[in-house]
Amino acid sequence: MARRRLPVTVISGFLGAGKTTLVRRLIRDLAPQRVAVIVNDLSELPVDADLVRETREGHDELVVNLHRGSLGGTLREAFRGALDAMVADEQLAHCLIETSGGTHPDRLVADLTARDDIVFDGFVTVVDGLNLLRDFDGGRALLAPSAPDDLRALLTAQVVAASVLIVSKADRLRRAEAESILRVLRQLNARAVIITAAYGHVDPKRIVGLGGVGQRRRITGHVTAEDEPARFDLGSEVLLDPRPFHPQRLHALFTQALPVGIHRSKGWLWLASRPLDVLVWSQAGSYLGLEWAGTWKAGVLADPDARLRPEERQALAVHVQSVHRVFGDRHCEMTFIGHANARAAFRTQLEACLCTDREIDAWTQGASFDDPWPTRIRSI
C-alpha cells in the first residue's frame, strides 16, 4: 500500500498583506473538507490564530498556533511536530501553513521539500498592492540590489519563492498602478501565476490542488542555518489595558502620527463611544481596517433587548464583575510589529489615546464622546 502523503500549501507574504483574510476565506470555501491550518505569528498575541479558529468554529483541533518566532528558526522543531501529527491524521484532506510576515522562505521551502510524507502542493505569496505602491515605489524598489538583512531582500525572496502571487487590495489600485505592479512582479518571478484580489476573494482551485508545483521549487545558493525576523529588525510588543480608547484621539493618531516603522498592528479594542462592540483592529502600513467581531458580555448585560432568563443574567453578571468591576470583559489587547524605536514611540502614543481617569468617570455617568470613525458596516 502506498504511503499517505498530505498535501500542504504555504501562504506567505509580508506583514499585513492579507494572509489571514485569504486563509479564512479558503477554509470557508473548502468546507466540508477537513482542512488543517498552521498559523505562525511573530507576536506573543495570537490574533491571527484566534480569527482562523473562529472561522473553524467547532473544529478547534484543526488550528495549530505557533507564535513568537519563525518556522525556520526557534519554532522549527515545533513546526515539524505539528506536521507529523497532521500527516498521521488520515481524515485530513489538506494543510494550510500561514507564515509570519517576517518569514524568509528559503529554510521553510528546504524543510518541506525534504519530507517524503507530504505533497508540497504550492507556495502562495500575498503581496500588498497598496503598500507596494506607497512604500516600495510600486515594487520597483525590489528590483534594486539590497543587503541580506534589508526588508527589500525579505519581500523579494517571498515573491521569488511563489508558484502563485496574489496582489491584495487590488480594489484600491488604479488600473495603471496595478499594471505597473504586475510588470514588476513578472520581472521578479516570471513562472508564477499572478492573481489580483480584494478581501481574499480567490477561487480556491487556483490555490489548492495544484499538483505539487511547490515540490518543484528548489533553493539555489546558501540556505541559512536558521531564519529569524530579528535579522530584519522586526520585533513585536503587546498593549493590554482594560480602559477604552478615546475615539477622537485614536483616530488622530492613525491619520496624523502613525510611526513609519510600524509595519503591522492588530488586535481587539473598544471605544468609549461604542461600549457594546468588540472591534478588530488591523493596520498594515498606511492602511487600517476595523472589523466588528461581536458584542462584549458586559454589553449584553447593558442591552435592554437582550433575551436572557433571570438565571442567565445573574450568572453573566457574576462572570463580568469577576473580570473587572467597571468594564467587565471589555478590554484592549493589541500587538504591534516593527522596528524597535518605532515600537517604543507607538506604545507611548497608544497609551495616550486611552481614556483618562476623568474621562472614565464621565463615561460611567453616560457622557458622550466625539467619534469620527465610520458607523456603516460593509459585509465582505
What domains appear along the chain, each with residue ranges and CATH number?
6-230 (3.40.50.300), 234-364 (3.30.1220)
- pLDDT-based confidence at 72, cuts 50/70/90? confident
Per-residue pLDDT tens over the stretch 208-262 = 988 777 666 555 444 554 577 888 888 888 999 999 999 999 999 888 877 678 8
Which pLDDT value is given to residue 362?
A: 96
As a whole number, mean pLDDT of residues 174-190 equals: 95
Distance CA(112)–CA(116), nearest Å, equals 9
Task: Report whether pLDDT(96) > 80.
Answer: yes
In percent, the amount of the chain with pLDDT more than 90 equals 51
Per-residue pLDDT tens over the stretch 331-380 = 999 998 888 888 988 899 999 999 999 999 999 999 999 999 988 766 65
Q: Higher pLDDT residue, 48 or 169?
A: 169
Per-residue pLDDT tens over the stretch 294-326 = 899 998 888 877 888 888 889 988 999 999 999
Which pLDDT value is given to residue 95?
A: 94
Q: For residue 115, what is its C-alpha cell?
A: 519530507
Which pLDDT value is given to residue 306?
A: 80
Which pLDDT value is given to residue 59?
A: 52
Task: Report whether pLDDT(61) > 60.
Answer: no
- Strand positions, DSSP E, the chain: 6-13, 35-41, 63-67, 94-98, 118-128, 164-168, 193-196, 235-241, 262-271, 274-284, 287-295, 332-338
pTM of the prediction?
Answer: 0.82
Which pLDDT value is given to residue 221?
A: 46
How confident is the prediction for the chain on average, in pLDDT?
A: 87
| Dihedral sign of CA atoms 171, 177, 180, 185 in order | negative
SS3 108: helix
Which pLDDT value is given to residue 380?
A: 54
Q: For residue 48, what is its C-alpha cell?
A: 491571527
